Structure 1
Amino acid sequence: MRALSGLERKQLLRSARQRGVVIQAEALSVLTEIYSTLFSPNFGKFVETLFEYFQEVSDGSDILTEETSHKLFASLLRMSKREAGEIESRLTLIDAFQVPVPLFNRSSKAYGIDENAKPTLLSGPEEKIGMFRKRFELLLQRTLRDERFHLPETHDFVDTKVRLTEIESLHTQSGRKTVLGFLTQLEEGTWFLEDLRSSIQISIKNAQFTPGIHTDGSIVLAQGEVVGSLFVVDTLGSPSAEKRLDSLAAISRCDLFGPALEDADRKLLAEKETEDGEAMILFLADVWLDTKQVLGGFKRLLQGFQESKIAPAVIVLMGDFSSPQLSATEQAVNLQSNFGALGNIIADYKEISEQTEFVIVPGPNDPVSHS
């Protein structure tokens, strides 16, 4: 592998001008690294592929900056791995403050991303209200996608379908109705159903409950009839679940967990999931590395996996990583050596260390969580 020669740099800049692209000087060193790492000595393919992918990462700009060149490098590296039948990792770690916020557009009946949402650590009361409203909207749309709630355009076979009724309409309609709402106690000891527009007191004394956990604040489907000012519930349960493929079809290409995977990556990941259908992800919390009992238990855990010829795909270790009796100063001093001891334990189990990915998640009292 070799770097770009002076002549090749001139040819690259000339090709950029012909395409109306300006390459900043700071980007040239990154482009040279891209060439030497992925394309050398095929300069022609490098130029052709470079400007093809530049259109995808440039956000409409015609200036190739140093930042854009790093995006190009990452994108081309993924392309190279796909061509080799590889995938970078089975894991994608997503910053909680970068997770997109979904928004349902009633006009287009499609999901999009709320561009105005700005996640913060300490949000105001209006954010909590908005959270409940969005949760209700998401479950309402999921319920309406259920075949049982698809009302036909004609009146044929209407008795085989279920019609949702808004709470504010219950008093104007007679007969047995189905309502989606929050199960709440607006008055202590008294149960209500509440949707986005109204609320009504309910009686669940003689109600039958479908399997599930129904708690204060949960969203439920309730069937019953209004008697006076009371909605007498005869059946109460959770909204039905939805298959993963149906959910993906509903949200289209709206990625709810960060940067969207390219189609080729999705296909390769699906193949990997099929090949390794028994993959295991293990979560361990309060891993106090200064405690012999915890380290001993961790050793026994890895020993058991190794003896069983099983290597988890991922082990997530979550803090706090120091026991509560240690002061902040003692934690900071001991943490590095404690992680060294953890690394030595993992290294003792060769199959685990080679096949398992480890993810470290600091706890609220770990020194690193405040940096």
Structure 2
Amino acid sequence: MGDLQHIRAEVNNAFKLSGFIIRREATTFVAEQLAPLAYAERQKMIDKLTAHLLHQCLSQPVLEKQHLELAYKECQSSGLEESETVLNVIDAFSVPKLCYDSERKKFVKDINVNNSLYPEPKWKAQLLIDRYTVIWQRTIRNKLFAKELLPSMEDENKFQLRKIEVLLSSSSRLDDVIVLGLLTQLTEGKFYLEDPTGSVLLDMSQTRYHSGLFTESSFVLAEGYYDDKVLNVMGLVLPPSENRTTSLPYFGNLNTFGGKSKTLLKNSQSLLKIEAENEDGMLVFLSDVWFDNLKVMSKLKTLFLGYNDFPPIAIIFLGEFLSCPYGYEHSTQLKAALTNLGDILHPFTKLRESCKFIFVPGRGDPAAPNILPRPPIPSSITEEIRNKLGDSVIFTTNPCRVQYCTQEFVIIRQDLVTKMCRNSIHFPETGDIPDHLTKTLLSQCTLSPLSLGVQPMYWKHADALNLYPMPDLVVVADNFQPYTRSYQNCQVVNPGSFPHTEFSFKVYIPASRTVEDSQIPNEDT
């Protein structure tokens, strides 16, 4: 009994240190459960219990026996905590808004968010200021610009990043100038560089362009000399991007991605274990899936048949979902096509029970304007397929986010290659367009580094298009040929148009973080 007394004292002290008042019978219960364990195991369990109860946000610090019974049961089962979701689809309108606190040099969550779709005009400028702040703090600590602790040791490769007001206040010529700013045409045909402190006219007659796609409204590093109120640009380069590991200290354990959990699920050991054990788990991405096309539907049937015995984690269908615009009948046609899809899927019992079917709308799908992020397909159109297949179908926004265990995926249906190339101020002479696009998106921290005239956006929901901190996978479903690129430990993938690429699609395997090209074979061969 002396031993039990000793364990009770251990339990009492541990809970007191965590700020709890624990009832006598609760202490006895815990001591009795822990008695058979060795000292180290006992400490581990006590730590687990206190951590679990601290997460519960109890209304008062007094712990009754029933609290401990429940906590002990939950800690003992190797199950996940309530907030630890294995698969979670996060719509664009619930993505958390993060602000950079320049005093604490950390990101904090903005909790006073009134997410109106049509806010006051200041938010139009605010979305660019927020993007500038994110890119500025990331660039300033890059090894090219970071100031060494010992100035005497400063090497030749260090550059000084200046604000535009420094140039404007100078009456003499300044050489070796590097400025981070927004590339914009303030007057027709004349390019300016703009930051929150001012704007400067650019002379780009001698500019050498580095790799990437430079569009109006993208942030660039301009290198050159300032003379007579004009910045003569010798080199134009994208701001350096930053991999996930480097960004992490500036976010702490904050859930930057979205979803129910308050903390970042990237660090969850139990989810990591599930991810590693599910070696054959996969996510299937198909774009331009025309549910009104007989050939496409027949190929989908083959796909469902092939996956029925080994269901994937999810099949993600990206729009447009009809092969041509039907005018005022568009919604009716889509409703009928989705109902038909439900009928085709219904017999595949294993697939229905184990797999999620996620639908991300395209630009031509009903019934939303061409503004990002765009809402899901209206529930009046999807009602019948949802009734038939229940929770296994999810209609979400474009773009959307998917969290699977510890991995984060950002998915968008957008013809970005065409849009970016058409709006570039300089078309790259060498290199591969998907490489340039990948580098540009991750450098700009957004899925749409285009002016609001080219791609309108809900100002207060610009965070939905955010790519910082870097996700594990970005799916940009585009009409361009399929590709898979990897940059700074982030993979950027285009599954290509399903009907236009001989029915090919992409498969992602989270356990090994690999992307595979797949195709539905031709029956004729």
- Structure 2 equivalent of residue 142 of structure 1: 138
1:111 aligns with: 107
- Residue of structure 2 in register with 1:245 after alignment: 245
Q: In the alignment, what sits opposite 1:91?
A: 87
Q: Contact (CA 8 Å) 2:287, 2:317: kept in 1 or not?
A: yes
Q: Is the 8 A contact 2:99 2:130 kept in 1?
A: yes
Higher-strand-fraction structure: 2
Match of 1:231 in 2: 231
SS in 1 for 2:212: coil
Partner of 2:201: 201
Number of residue pairs matched by the alignment: 318
Q: In 2, Cα distance between the equivalents of 1:98 and 1:76? A: 33
The 3 A distance-change label for structure 1 pair 130 and 212 is same
Give the residue type in structure 2 aligned to 1:205. S
Deviations 1:30-70 (A, max 9, x none): xxxxxxxxxxxx9x98xx99998565333646799xxxx9x
What does residue range 27-42 of structure 1 map to in structure 2 within 5 Å? none
Among 164, 169, 188, which residue is 2:166 paired with? Answer: 169
1:43-99 deviations in Å (ceiling 9; x for gaps): x98xx99998565333646799xxxx9xxx9x99986764489x9764222233322
Structure-2 change in CA distance of 1:55 and 1:353 (3 Å): same
Change (3 A) 1:84 1:167: closer
Shift of residue 278, structure 1, vs aligned partner: 9.1
8 Å Cα contact 2:80/2:270 also seen in 1: no
Which residue identity lines up with residue 360 of structure 1 in the other structure? F
Residue type at the aligned position of 1:246: T
Does the alignment pair 1:178 with 2:189?
Answer: no
Please state how far the C-alpha of 1:237 moved relative to its aligned partner: 1.1
CA contact 2:164–2:179 (8 Å) conserved in 1: yes
Counterparts in 2 of 1:217 and 1:268: CA distance versus 1, 3 Å: same
What is the identity, as a one-letter code, of the residue corresponding to 1:293?
A: K
Distance change in 2, residues 1:336/1:218 (3 Å): closer
2:97 corresponding residue in structure 1? 101
- The question of whether the paired residues in 1 share the 8 Å contact of 2:193 and 2:201 is answered with yes
Displacement of 1:107? 1.5
Q: Which structure 2 residues correspond to residues 258-269 of structure 1 after superposition, within 5 A?
A: 258=258, 259-261=261-263, 266-269=268-271
For 1:368, the aligned partner's letter is S
> 2:100·2:133 contact (CA, 8 Å) conserved in 1?
yes
| Distance (whole Å) between structure 1 residues aligned to residue 295 and residue 72 of structure 2 | 47
Q: Which runs of 5+ in 1 are unaligned?
A: 1-17, 22-41
- 2:293 equivalent among 283, 291, 294: 291
Q: Helix, strand or coil for the counterpart of 1:159?
A: coil
Tell me the distance in 1 between the aligned counterparts of 2:123 and 2:177: 32
User: Displacement, 1:177?
Assistant: 1.1
Residues in 2 aligned to 1:274 and 1:210: alpha-carbon distance in whole angstroms: 39
Q: Do the aligned residues in 1 keep the contact of 2:283 with 2:314 (CA within 8 Å)? A: yes
CA contact (8 A) 1:151 1:158 kept: no
Which residue of the partner structure matches residue 484 of structure 2?
A: none
Residues 108, 317 of structure 1: CA spacing in aligned structure 2 closer, same or farther, 3 A cutoff? same
Structure 1 residue 114: deviation in Å? 1.1
Provide the rounded CA distance (Å) in 2 between the counterparts of 1:354 and 1:329: 28
Shift of residue 236, structure 1, vs aligned partner: 0.8
Contact conserved, 1:328 with 1:367, CA < 8 A, in 2? no
Please say if residues 82 and 265 of structure 1, whose CA atoms lie closer than 8 Å, have aligned partners that are also in contact: no
4+ aligned runs moved over 6 Å, structure 1: 18-21, 48-52, 75-78, 262-265, 275-279, 352-355
Return the structure number with greater helix share: 1
Distance 1:78 1:192 in 2: 59
Aligned pair 1:360/2:371, yes or no? no
Distance (Å, rounded) in 2 between the aligned partners of 1:138 and 1:129:
15
CA-based RMSD? 4.4
Larger Rg: 1
Q: Is 2:352 the counterpart of 1:341?
A: no
Amino acid at match of 1:204: M
Higher mean displacement: 168-177 or 110-119: 168-177
The percentage of aligned residue pairs carrying the same residue is: 27
Partners of 2:167 and 2:226 within 8 A in 1: yes
How far, CA to CA, are the matches of 2:122 and 2:77 in structure 1?
A: 45
The answer as to whether partners of 1:81 and 1:88 remain within 8 angstroms in 2 is: no
Partner of 1:126: 122
Q: 1:54 to 1:182 in 2, by over 3 A?
A: same
Higher relative contact order (CA 8 A, sep 6+): 2
Tell me, yes or no, if structure 1 residue 160 matches structure 2 residue 157. yes
Q: Distance in 1 between matches of 2:73 and 2:293?
A: 42
